[in-house]
Amino acid sequence: MTKIISANLNGIRSAAKKGFFEWMAKESADFICVQELKAQAADMTEDFLNPAGYHGNFHYAEKKGYSGTGIYSKAKPDAVYIGFGSPEFDAEGRYVRCDFGKLTIISVYCPSGSSSPERQEAKFRFMELFLPHLIALQAEGRELVICGDWNIAHKEIDLKNWKSNQKNSGFLPEERAWMTRIFEELGWVDVYRRLYPETTGDAYTWWSNRGQAWANNVGWRIDYHVATAGIAEKASKSYIYKEQRFSDHAPLIIEYLHTL
């Protein structure tokens, strides 16, 4: 059994204060992909870098207090790749890849376009660059699991108020069509949806801090495990951890009938 967690921390220091690392130790997952570190290398304590029993690998944004991704793994990676070859987005700390035997784990933090039209244009540029990267990854012939905050709700069942969000970043027709291409044309698998094709409210992974979104479960499913078909077929169980709140996202956990 291989357990993989994806968690947007919305600040590693904030999440740590809320008990994230104690929870992580109890979960004892094989891989934990984290996003939105909001920290630089100088901010990372030894407890953040290498929690007991784990190797940590990170991609920091050049801008302070912004973005950042990482992967914690029980096994030491055979190879680590920081960034995916885009000067613009690698400067934002959005991508870490670790190889373990024939398995590759990737933590990705796709841009949000909600803050301004300029950031939405940046998000579209990221999408244009990331699609051929996904094709190149497939060509390697490895089993891959890409975990992260993709900042897109794919279908109507993936957010509470889909009708009123059709012109908002995260649920734009162009964004949704891009994800459809990934799943239907390229053949990647949305692992959670493979396991639970009809789940609505229990599938949400992010809730706005505005209003009473969390209390009323006005959420979005924007955190994913996107995997190659071989390992996706071995996914046996998934759950979204909501008993404690470490950030505005909830960790997405999937167990695979797979051994390294």
Spatial separation of the C-alpha atoms in residues 42 and 8, rounded to whole Å: 20
Q: Work out whether the CA dihedral 98, 10, 113, 115 comes out positive or negative.
A: negative
Spatial separation of the C-alpha atoms in residues 120 and 114, rounded to whole Å: 7
* Bridge partners for 6 per DSSP: 33, 252
Q: Helices 117-139 and 173-180 sit at what angle, rounded to 10 degrees?
A: 0
Spatial separation of the C-alpha atoms in residues 1 and 256, rounded to whole Å: 6
Pairing of strands 223-227, 103-109: unpaired
Chain-centre distance for alpha carbon 116: 22
Q: Over the range 9-43, which residues count as b (16 or more CB within 10 Å of their CB) and which as e?
A: bbbbeebbeeebbebbeeeebbbbbbbbbbbbeee
* Bridge partners for 226 per DSSP: 146, 190
Decide if 149 is catalytic.
yes
- Catalytic hit among 30, 47, 149, 202: 149
Point out the residues that are catalytic.
149
